[in-house]
């Protein structure tokens, strides 16, 4: 019988605030340019959803599968070379099929659900999965409580996955709600990692539904603001467009400029430096006027070399901020 793993020492790490695809690609580069076991990702679980009686934790699985070399390369989610027999059969049996779960992917949700049923918490499960798959970065789910991001639309409030995947992000955004946040707490692991971090990086993830959800947990934003180590954010907006996902519609909804400057203005109280893409170099003086240092570089992670290059540039920028 499996027993919950010991959680390793999560102090004195490079801490990365992480959503799904963008963060996973960044982490892939980062772990190749730092010593093993020195990176700790604080991962959003606000996108988690129950389907077919199973607990699905997309951002955790996207990061895990990316770092384990299992991710579907073009989708950025799901397992490479997967099949869909189970999904087809589920459809025949009347189950919803809009959230695609491949046969290999299904193993993550089956085992996660079984372990939750056996009393494990999400940190135990992430630790067990990462060890099983040989991933060196420590993954810390942001909370053990149920927090679910919902999008308010003109026709009702939707779970984030219903808004994004089922309805293809077509609905007008009237609001973003974090259901369950009022009674949720970050895990003690998350707070210890943040309190003792040697440097903090906000990955190029969505500032509202990925990073924003983590920062909304009681004490997290405050701890980040108190930190005296270098803190940087990488813009997920390049040339006025999002690399992936619905960030543009969310920035419009929030009345924030759709640019790296807009992202910097969201994080300005929590960071010391902003990493922006070469194509946005002209925004650097306005970002500097917010009181932030600016690093202009190639942030498009096309391949292993560009991922490592971005990570190395971020580490150098943080060393300059010391
Ligand atoms: N994204 C999609 O666009 N369509 C899907 O059917 C889908 C299924 C899916 C299954 C498991 C998983 O871990 C992720 C999945 N995603 C899918 C991605 C995911 O919903 C989002 O990209 C993240 O929640 C945003 O970080």
- Concatenating the DSSP letter of every residue in 238-298 gives ETTEESSSSHHHHHHHHT--SSHHHHHHHHTTT-SEEEEEGGGGGGHHHHHTTT-EEEEE-
Query: In the prediction, which pLDDT does 46 show?
Result: 98
Q: Which of 26, 41, 99, 108 to mutate to test the pocket of ligand 1 (most atoms within 8 A of CB)?
A: 99
Task: Determine the residue of 19, 58, 105, 113 to mutate for testing ligand 1's pocket, defined as the one with the most ligand atoms within 8 A of the Cβ atom.
Answer: 58
Half-sphere exposure at residue 43, Cβ-oriented, CA atoms within 13 angstroms: 30
- Of the candidates 153, 109, 139, the one whose C-alpha atom is nearest the C-alpha of residue 253 is 153
Tell me which residue has its CA closest to atom 2 in ligand 1: 165
Could you write out the DSSP letters of every residue in 178-213? EETGGG--B-HHHHHHHHH-SEEEE-SS-TTTTHHH
The per-residue pLDDT for 243 is 83
Q: What is the pLDDT of residue 240?
A: 93
The distance from CA 144 to its chain's CA centroid, rounded to whole angstroms, is 16
The SS3 of residue 159 is strand
Q: What are phi and psi of 15, to 5 degrees?
A: -100, 130
Rounded-to-integer distance, Cα 154 and Cα 205, Å: 26
Residue with tokens 């579907």: 72
How far is residue 101's CA from residue 73's CA, in Å, rounded to a whole number?
Answer: 16
SS3 149: strand
Sheet of 148-153: strand order equals 156-159, 148-153, 175-179
Rg of the chain on CA atoms, in Å: 19
The percent of residues above 90 in pLDDT, for the chain, comes to: 98
What is residue 151's three-state secondary structure?
strand
* CB-ligand 1 contact for 107 (6 Å cutoff): no
Task: Give the model's pLDDT for residue 244.
Answer: 83
| Residue 212 pLDDT | 98
Other CB atoms within a 10 A radius of the CB of residue 153 amount to 17
Whole-Å CA distances, 9 to 6, 216, 306: 9, 25, 30
Residue nearest to atom 4 of ligand 1 (CA): 165
Of 54, 39, 43, the C-alpha closest to 9 is 39
Ligand 1 atom closest to the Cα of residue 62 is 13
The tens digit of pLDDT for each residue in 188-247 reads 999 999 999 999 999 999 999 999 999 999 999 999 999 999 999 999 999 999 988 899
- Provide the pLDDT for residue 245: 84
The CB of 77 under 6 Å from ligand 1? The reply is: yes
**242 touches ligand 1 (CB under 6 Å):** no
For the chain, which ranges sit under pLDDT 70?
none
Q: What is the pLDDT of residue 135?
A: 97
Q: How far is the CA of 165 from the centre of ligand 1 (A)?
A: 7
Indicate if ligand 1 lies below 6 Å from the C-beta of 137: no
Task: Report the 10 Å Cβ neighbour count for 315.
Answer: 18
Average pLDDT of the residues of the chain: 97
**292 exposed, middle or buried (CB, 10 Å; 0-12, 13-18, 19+)?**
buried
Cα end-to-end distance, the chain, whole Å: 47
Whether pTM > 0.95 for this model: the answer is yes
pLDDT at 125: 98
């Amino acid at each position: 019988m499996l027993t919950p793993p010991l959680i390793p020492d999560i102090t004195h790490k490079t801490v990365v605030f992480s959503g799904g695809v963008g963060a996973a690609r960044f982490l892939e580069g980062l772990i190749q340019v730092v010593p093993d076991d020195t990176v700790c990702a604080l991962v959003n679980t606000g996108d988690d959803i129950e389907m077919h009686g199973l607990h699905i934790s997309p951002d955790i699985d996207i990061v895990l599968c990316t770092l384990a070399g299992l991710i579907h390369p073009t989708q950025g989610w799901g397992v490479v070379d997967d099949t869909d027999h189970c999904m087809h059969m589920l459809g025949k049996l009347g189950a919803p099929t809009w959230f695609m779960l491949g046969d290999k992917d299904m193993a993550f949700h089956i085992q996660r659900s079984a372990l939750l049923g056996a009393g494990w918490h999400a940190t135990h499960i992430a630790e067990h999965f990462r060890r099983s798959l040989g991933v060196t970065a420590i993954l810390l789910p942001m909370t053990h409580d149920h927090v679910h991001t919902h999008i308010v639309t003109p026709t009702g409030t939707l779970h984030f996955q219903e808004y994004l995947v089922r309805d293809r992000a077509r609905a007008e955004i009237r609001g973003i709600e974090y259901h369950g946040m009022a009674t949720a707490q970050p895990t003690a692991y998350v707070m210890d990692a943040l309190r003792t971090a040697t440097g903090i990086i906000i990955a190029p993830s969505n500032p509202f539904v990925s990073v924003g959800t983590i920062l909304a947990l009681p004490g997290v934003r405050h701890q980040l603001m108190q930190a005296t180590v270098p803190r940087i954010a990488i813009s997920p907006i390049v040339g006025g467009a999002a690399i992936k996902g619905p960030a543009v519609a969310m920035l419009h909804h929030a009345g924030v400029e759709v640019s790296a400057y807009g992202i910097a203005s969201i994080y300005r109280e929590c960071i010391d430096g902003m990493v922006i893409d070469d194509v946005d170099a002209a925004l650097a003086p306005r970002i500097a006027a917010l009181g932030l240092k600016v690093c202009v570089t190639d942030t498009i992670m096309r391949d292993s070399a560009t991922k490592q290059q971005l990570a190395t540039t971020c580490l150098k920028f943080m060393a300059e901020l010391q």
